[in-house]
Homo-oligomer: A and B are copies of this chain.
Amino acid sequence: MMVKTPNIYCLVRGSAEGRTRLNAFDKALLNAGVGDTNLMRMSSILPPAAEQVDVSQINFPKGGLIPLAYATIDGNTPGRLISAAIAVGIPEDDTEPGVIMEFEDHADLDTVEGIVRQMVIDGFDYRNRKLKEIKSFGIEHKIKNCGSVFAAAVLWYK
């Protein structure tokens, strides 16, 4: 096998302003508590029975390779809103995987988080899988000069 399937996850979010788009994103990662790691984006399934922990409980190795699913958006129009949200659907049957959805837009967080929660409902619906619970987490930011928002489900190992 390639690598062990992760068995814990945490939901994180951050926002920041920076001199460039990448600096704003980098600061948003630091704000979210996952800066100083090497994030590797993946399509977005929650392994069966993965346990939720708080990001503060995980001691990520500095520069370590960390799999995650995330929503992000940046912009440089002063005064515009940007929002990113992540939602995780937990199945009733804990031998089945969950579904992670990401969404971001130039909109307020209520709108973006409402959409990403519906995306999870749809994901369970066309899988014919019973949904026990949706957990969602997001962040809204009004751009000053060059802003970025980030919301993620980070997978790891206990």
Binding site for B on A (CB under 8 A): 1-6, 18-20, 22-23, 25-27, 29-30, 35-48, 50, 61-67, 69, 96-99, 101-103, 115, 118-119, 122-123, 126-127, 155-157
Contacts and interface: CB of A to CB of B under 8 A. Distances in A.
Copies per assembly: 3
A157 B2 CA distance: 7
A109 to B, nearest CB: 17
Contacts of A26: 43, 99, 101, 123
Given A37-B45, A38-B69, A42-B65, 7 more contacts: A2-B4, A5-B62, A6-B65, A18-B122, A23-B126, A25-B43, A40-B41
12 contacts: A1-B64, A1-B157, A2-B64, A18-B126, A19-B118, A38-B155, A39-B42, A42-B65, A45-B62, A47-B61, A48-B63, A62-B96
A119 to B, nearest CB: 6
Contact of A3 (B23, B37, B65): B65
